[in-house]
Structures are given as structure tokens and as C-alpha cells.
Chains A and B, each alone.
Chain A
Amino acid sequence: MTLIIALNCIAGLLAVTVLAVVIGRASVAAQIVYGASLIGSLILLFAAIGHLLGAADPVSMTLPLGLPWLGTHFRIDTLSSFFLAVVDLGIAAASLYALGYGRHEQAPQRVLPFYPAFLAGMNLVVLADDAFTFLISWEFMSLSSWALVMAHHRVRENVHAGYVYLIMASFGTLTLLLAFGLLAGPDGDYTFAAIRAAHPSAGLVALVLILALIGAGSKAGLVPLHIWLPLAHPAAPSHVSALMSGVMTKVAVYGFVRIVFDLLGEPAWWWGIPVLTIGAASAVMGVLYALMERDLKRIFAYSTIENVGLIFVALGLALSFKAHGMPLAAALALTAGLLHVFNHSLFKSLLFFGAGAVLTATGERNIERLGGLIHRMPQTAFVMLIGCIAVSALPPFNGFVSEWLIFQAILLSPQLPSWGLKFLVPAVGALLALSAALAAACFVRAFGIAFLGRPRTPAAEQAREVDRFSLAAMFACAAFCLIVGVLPGLFIDTLAPVVRSLVGARMPVQIGVEWLSIVPVAESRSSYNGLLVFFFIFMSGSLAAFAIHRLASDKLRRAPAWDCGYPDASPATQYTASSFAQPIRRVFGTLVFRAREQVVMPKPGDPGPARMSVELRDLIWDMLYTPIAGAVMLTAERLNGLQFLSIRQYLSLVFAALVILLLVIASWP
């Protein structure tokens, strides 16, 4: 039943795509498309939640579509219903937001048809039950999102972003194609049921793991395959950016979980090692990039890389624990990872909505040209503050809960018997702590420079609060961030059937714990109660305010800023995003980015300004992608000569190729 509803909704979304092509120019088209997407995603969301809460048995279905005699297989189980819920909650929020935000779109025909198609693609990936359907949907999702990235195609940067995205997406799909090809074996049975039943050799499985890590990881934005993400995500319209960062990366995580936890069978002891290493590297690198960035949407895109890294660390821990026969610890790590999937989709959507609101209000994405928005856009500033606290993993919001659970899982690692993991996991823990602290610095910077202080440009000075639909979507996301933060037990229990189906165990039941605390292993070991912490903070803050206002003084007067006696009226004297990041750039950037600072002082007596320039190098571009691009260009240049041969030469080339192929076949064992 759930599956039929879901597929009907997806068919509906595809119908909306066709409709959008027809009515794209009409003034009500945006309302119709986004309204229909909102309704469709809400139905899908409730269907998915119903399936998840009921912990219902998997339902499969074969539709006579696609290739003849193969059909298209769909299946919904607890894992896909959880991801379906995450995807559709994000879609619902984005569609609600777009009802207001979409009005400002200058070229609606370039956005409206692809938006529902993109939504349908993401939903289909989660429901696919054979490799063929999975890959088609995956590619559908990639291409429709590529079209959305290219919506504003006259901006030069966007064209570049679209180009890089297209190459990286094709590469990712290619590796997934190879992974599924290896999994399907020589008989070529592409249904997931057949893949699950097969028992491939260890070497093959290792290859599939690496290919899946590359394929899903490039979509999710793992370092060093992340290069397209900070270009492409910000280039799209903001509601699409929110979907790409908050939701599409989760679809990629789903792909990885589906292949590695479900299809590949029992993990080997070393599987966790590459996943943990790449995850931890992504977490730290992502946030360091974010700290150097000045474009608001790019900061959030880089922070997505960090969070995806966290999720993969949790998945790597789960794999390691599962491989060593520690199902309870694996359940804890996997729950932490999946909870972070949910949390990240919430606060990252919220943050991109906020960036869109800022863009609508000021036309600026560069935070160094903003400032003081808290006075002009108080509601947006308030929800953005919540989003920033949540993404910085600070209590009592949701980001902290999942990060805390990951740390609890890390603390179980000494029980692992393998020495490699024993030494790796504490180092990963230190890197995660570093990334959490840097994330807090990054979001103090992003929020502080954009929303606090004094306006740096007239555009920021004249910003106006955004429309109600956008605000409603942002407040809904912020409310969810708080709810998950104070009542995490409910969500952990909801995840239990998903986790049980993947690692064979679940975390202890949380709902019955006194005072709604969460207890990952045992109460004597660790527990956390978001509700009480929130309540205590609220009570002691209010108590202090009440007591001081009542007993001491409640008088207040306004005066010019003090600033040690040298206040400067010019807003240019404020700290900028670059100067805020300077200490961190000096500490970490000299190594990671080869940062070079150069100060040019005027000669004594010369009243001209001193100039300071900073040079950063992206080593991943320089050391990985530039050589590859160079090699490709070089090869193409060398092969160019082949285009200008005579007919005789072409015929002899064909003949030579034929002879070589025959020789190969003849000598094949």
C-alpha cells in the first residue's frame, strides 16, 4: 500500500514536470508547481513515516516499465522508508519555502520543469530495487539537478560549476555502474534480491566497497571528490541549493548504506578503515575550507562536506564494530550516523533558506558586503542563529545529540580487537573534536559578519524581512532542530527497526528511560538529557534576568560604542570575515592551503594606504585535478592527428584493430 501511494506520488511529480513545461510562462505556474510538490512530498512523508513507525515488512513490486523482460523493481523497507522520510521532509520544507522565494525567480521556465523531476529522481533512487532502476534514477537525479544548477546560465561561474558537476557526476555514476556490474556477477542478475543472495569472492567485494565509496562519496561530497559541491550547490536557486545540500547528499549516503550494509553482506575487518579515514579527512577539510570562504552559500556547502564526513565516520565505526561481532556498538554508531543524516538535512535546509532570504533581501552572497541584518531582518536572523547553533553541534539543539552519540561510539572503540582500528579511532575522535570546534568558529564568523555588527553596504542597510512562506519554512526547520535536540529518545527509537535490519541489533529502548534521557549503553557509562539541559538553561537565565531586574537595576540607555575610546564611525573599521579567519588561517592554513600573507607598506611620509594580500592554494585542485586535466588535454592533442588521415590509412587502422582484437580473443585463456 505504502509503495503504491509512493509510486503514484512520484508519477504525479513527473506529471507536474510535463505540466510545468506547458504552463511555465504563466504567472501562477510557480504556485502550482511548488504547491503540487508540497502536497506530493507531504503524502510521501506520511506514507514513509507510517511504514517506519509500523516497522512493517518490506514490500516489493515489479512494474512492466523499462527494458523488456526485465521490468522495474521497487521495494520499500525500513531503510528506504527512513530515507524517504528524510528526503520528503526536506522537499516539503523546500517547496513551502519556494512558494515565497520562487516569486523572485527571473527565469522560471528554467527552474519549474526540472524541480519536480529532481524530486522524483531522488525519491526513485530510494525506492529502487534493482541496479538498473537505481542507476537510471540516480542519473535522472544528477541530470535534473544539473539543469537546476544551470538555471542562471548567463553567470560565468555557474557555467563552470555545471561543467565540473557534470564531469564529476558522470564519473560517480561510472564507478557505481562498475560496482553493480561486479555485484551482478557473470549471470547479470541485477535485482537486489539476487545480489544479496550471491556470495562474491573477497577480492571482488573489496573492489565493490572502494567503487561504492568513490561513487556514493563523490555525490555526497567526500574529500577529495568534493570539488564540484561548493561550486554547484550555491549556483542553483536557494531552495534547490537546500535540497542538493540537505537532501541529495543524503540520497548518496543511502546509496552507500544500501550497497555496503545491505548488498555486500558481512563486512571484513578492514572495511571501516578507508571509510573512517576519508570521513575524518572530509570533516576537517570541509570546515577549514568553509572558514576561508566569504560566499555565504559556499560556506554552507563546505559545511555540508564536513557533516557528510561525520556521517561517514559513524558509518565506518558501525562497519568496524559489525565486522568484529559487536552488534550493540555497531547499532550505536549506525544510529548516530542516521540521526545525523536527519539532523543535517534539517539544519542545512534551514541555513540555505536563510542564505536565500539574505540574497532576496540584499542581492548579496558575500558576507563582507553584509552586516547588521539582525536589525533589518529580525526573524530570519533568529532562525539562522538557531541553525548556526545546531550545525555547530552545541547543546541543546539537534546537532549536538548526533555528534555526542558518535563520540560515545568512539569511546567504545578500545574494545575492538584489531590494533589498526584501536589506534585509528582515537585519532579520528581528536579530528572530529577539532572539526566541531572549527565549525563553531566558522558559524560564529558566518552569522557574526553577515547578521551582526553594522551594515557594510547600502544594500545591507536597506534589507527587508522576507515573505511569510519563506519564514514559515525556516521556522518549521528551526522547530524541528529544537525538538530533536530536546527529545532525541523518540527519534532514536524510531530508527531502531532500520538499525536492526542492517546490523542485527538496536540501541536500548529510550522511551522508557526516566525523564526522557538518552542512555546509549548503560546509565553508569553516559547519559544526556536535552530536555532538562534546555529547561535548566531557560530557567536559570530567566531567574537571573528576573532577579537582577527586580532587585538591582533595569535601567538602560543608548550611547555611541566605547571601543576603548576610539570609536570610528566608518563601518569599514569592523572586523571582516577575512580578518576574523586570520588567526585560524595562520594556525592551520599555512600547512593546508599554503597560505601566504603579504603586506605592502607605503613609504614613510606617503599617505597612501597599506595593502595586504593573502594567497591561498587549493592543494587538491593543484595536485590531483590539474594533472588529470592536463593529461586528458595532452592525450586529446596527440590523438588529434587521427582526424586528418586519408581513407587508406583509416582502412588500415580498422584492419589493424580487427587483427589485434582477434589475436586477443585467440590468446584469451
Chain B
Amino acid sequence: MAVIVDVAIQGAQMLLVLLLSPLLTGFVRKIKARLVRRQGPPLLQPYRDLIRLMRKDVVLAQSASWLFRVVPYLVFATTWVALSLVPTFRTGLLFSWSADLIAIIALLGSARFFLALAGLDVGTSFGGIGSSREVMIASLAEPAMLMIVFMLALIAGSTQLSTMSAFMNSSEVGLRVSLGLGLIALIMVAIAENARIPVDNPATHLELTMVHEAMILEYSGRHLALIELSASLKLLLYVSLIACLFAPWGMGTTEAGPQALAIGALTYIGKLAVGGFLLAMFETAIAKMRVFRVPEFLGAALMLALLATLLRFVSRSF
């Protein structure tokens, strides 16, 4: 019986994140539009876009290989699997032990690896520029992310997200300097990883400023739909990750009954709304930076994470 419930909850989480992710993207777009006094597209527009794209024919470049056609499914699958292992409304999911935080980051790395290859597959200059910049950004974001994991693992004594989240929810964790630095670093990495302003602009159509969009320029139809969906999933993943590590309040535990789960789900949606709102605020308030300023931005994230880790070494109370 317990197993069935566990499977049901794990399945519910997978469906929930799949259904919620376009909504979060739509929400961020809406808020951004409202902040600059535009009406903005309706909240449900990303769903309509996805359905429309899925129904269209794929127009495939003549020089594209089989890899180009497989990559959207691989990217979607790896991102979805990674997200289904992040605790959202309840910790201790059925398969949460099959990958820890390091493995989840590596799964996202796999998705990026495939996408960068797809950018090179057709043999156009824009695909190449996108891939080349994407891997440069990733090569800076990944060490920073790992230092954040290191710092969190020092505090929580684990890299298992469920355990970390449960620990963060307990009374043992107070306000700590290292946590604050880690949070800022994590937000910076999340912005870079999700191709948001100021690192990249998800809405740009000026070719030379694109990174992510240039990489997927040749995609169309259902392939493009899957990649857009994966991008939404990734955004949701990072917001959920920040929420479950730094704002784990209200999350259901393994013994939680239906009521606690409902609370968990509601607070989760609340956290997403707050996260989305803050992201929109931030993106509206700041301008995109030049590509070669990105190393400084991510270098700052790395230094913050390193500082946080060293502070933990100096004193356990930081």
C-alpha cells in the first residue's frame, strides 16, 4: 500500500512539474510585461505555443543528421528526470535516492552537452556561436555550482537533496553568513544556467546577442516545442532547487497525510510565484551584459561560494 502511495506521489510530482513549468514561464513573461506597463501575453500563452508547435511539421535542414532529431528527446528526458528528483512539495520521494545533487547537476550537464552538439550539427555559423558560448558559460557556472554544493554539504552533511531539504527545514539551521553567500551565488548560477538577463536574453531576436536561442535556431515544430518545454522545466528546476534548499517551509515529509501534502503543494506554488516575481523584477531592472563580461559575473559567484565554504571551515557557527 505504502509503495503505491509513494509511486503515486512520485508520479504526481512528475506530472505536476511538467504541467506547471510553462505556467511559470508565462507568469514571468506576464510580470515582466506588466512592469514595463505593457499588457503582455496571457498567462496560458506558453501552453498554446507548445501545442501549436507540436502540431506543425518539422522542417529539417538538409545537412542535419540523426543526432539532430534525437537531441530534443534526450534533452527533454534528462531535464525532466533531473527535475523529478528535486523535492517540490514533499521530501523523500520514492526515487529521490537514485541521484544526489551532484548527479542532478551532471544530468543538466548532459542535456547541455547534447544541445551544444545539436547547435553544431547543421553546420551554420549561428549554431556554432551559440554552442561555443554556451559551453564557455557552463565551464564557469559548473565550478561555482559545485562549490555551492560543497558548502551546503558541509552544513547538511549530505548531498542527497531530500536529506538536505529536511535538514534545512529543521531548527538546527539558523541564519548563517555562509548560507546567505551561497544563496546569492546560487541565484547567479541559476540566472546564467537559464539564459536569463543579464547573461543571455530569452526574448532577443538580435542574432549576435543570442546564446541559447542561437544554438536552437534550426529547430522547428515538435522538436522546438520539446526544447522550449525543457527550457521551462530547467527554470522550474532551479526555482524549486532554491526553494527546497533555502525556503523549505511547508514542505511535506515522508509521513505527511493528504492535508500536509495539500499545504506542501500550495506553499510550493506560492514559492514559485514569489520566485517568478523576483526574477521578473530583476530582469526588468538590469541590462544585458556583453558576453565577455559573463566570466566576471560567474567568477563573482564562484568567489562567493568559495568564501562561504572557507567561512564554514573557519567556524562552524558562520
Contact = CB atoms under 8 A, between A and B. Distances in A.
Interface string B107-129: 10110110011011111111111
Contacts of B139: 434, 437-438, 440-441, 584, 587
Nearest to A537: B77
A529 interface: yes
A394 B98 contact: no
B12 interface: no
A411 B153 contact: yes
A453 B226 contact: no
Interface string B131-169: 111011011111101110010011001111001000000
B231 to A, nearest CB: 15
B100 A528 contact: yes
A562 B143 contact: no
A590 to B, nearest CB: 11
B74 A537 contact: yes
Given A525-B159, A527-B100, A533 B107 contact: yes
A580 interface: yes
A564 B215 CA distance: 12
B125 A574 contact: yes
Interface in A406-437: 407-408, 410-411, 414, 422-423, 426-427, 429-431, 433-434, 436-437
Contacts of B103: 395, 400, 404, 528, 533
Contacts of A447: 117
B254 to A, nearest CB: 13
Interface size class of A (residues with CB under 8 A): 35 or more
B132 to A, nearest CB: 5
B60 A556 contact: yes
Interface string B200-220: 000000010000000001101
Given A434-B139, A544-B76, A553-B56, A444 B113 contact: yes
A579 B133 CA distance: 10
A375 interface: yes
A372 B62 CA distance: 12
B120 A567 contact: no
Given A441-B139, A545-B73, A553 B62 contact: no
Interface string A190-215: 00000000000000000000000000
B55 interface: yes
A410 B80 CA distance: 28
A548 B54 contact: yes
B61 interface: yes
B54 A552 contact: yes
A544 B226 contact: yes
A612 B217 CA distance: 27
Interface string B67-90: 100000110111011001000000
A448 B292 CA distance: 23
A454 B63 contact: yes
A560 interface: yes
A422 B313 contact: yes
B58 A555 contact: yes
Given A448-B131, A527-B160, A371 B58 contact: no
B237 interface: no
B67 A452 contact: yes
Nearest to A401: B103
Interface stretch (B171-179, B243-251, B302-310): B302-310
A553 B135 contact: no
B282 interface: no
Interface in B263-318: 291-292, 295, 302, 306, 309-310, 312-313
B106 A400 contact: yes
A562 B98 contact: no
A444 B119 CA distance: 10
A400 B78 CA distance: 15
A457 interface: no
Contacts of A587: 136, 139-140, 292, 295
Given A540-B80, A556-B58, A557-B58, A452 B153 contact: no
A434 B51 CA distance: 39
Given A434-B143, A525-B160, A541-B76, A414 B154 contact: yes
A127 B295 CA distance: 49
Nearest to B72: A544
A573 interface: yes
Contact of A537 (B81, B128, B131, B291): B81
A317 interface: no
Contacts of A532: 95, 98
B59 A557 contact: yes
A374 B159 contact: no
B65 interface: yes
Contact of A444 (B78, B106, B116, B126): B116
A536 interface: yes
B201 to A, nearest CB: 16
Contacts of B154: 411, 414
B99 interface: yes
Contacts of A437: 109, 135, 138-143
Nearest to B313: A422
A189 B58 CA distance: 75
A504 interface: no
B102 interface: yes
Contacts of B73: 541-542, 544-545
Nearest to B61: A561
A453 B295 CA distance: 28
B123 A452 contact: yes
A394 B113 contact: yes
B61 A430 contact: no
A561 B98 CA distance: 40
Contacts of A643: none
Given A395-B106, A430-B143, A433-B146, A553 B54 contact: yes
Nearest to A536: B81
A389 interface: yes
Interface string A513-552: 0010100000111111100110011111110110010001
A365 to B, nearest CB: 19
A529 B128 CA distance: 34
Contacts of A525: 157-160, 163
B199 to A, nearest CB: 13
A583 B159 contact: no
A381 B66 CA distance: 11
A563 B125 contact: yes
Contacts of A573: 124-125
Contacts of A560: 61-62
21 contacts: A375-B65, A395-B103, A395-B106, A395-B107, A411-B159, A427-B306, A430-B302, A434-B139, A524-B160, A536-B98, A537-B74, A540-B77, A540-B80, A541-B73, A552-B51, A559-B61, A561-B63, A562-B124, A563-B126, A584-B135, A587-B292
6 tightest Cβ-Cβ pairs between the two chains A and B: A575-B128, A453-B123, A448-B120, A541-B77, A441-B135, A437-B142
Interface of B: 51, 54-63, 65-67, 73-74, 76-78, 80-81, 84, 95, 97-100, 102-103, 106-107, 109-110, 112-113, 116-117, 119-129, 131-133, 135-136, 138-143, 145-147, 150, 153-154, 157-160, 163, 207, 217-218, 220-222, 225-226, 291-292, 295, 302, 306, 309-310, 312-313
Given A414-B154, A538-B77, 4 more contacts: A374-B121, A437-B143, A544-B226, A556-B57
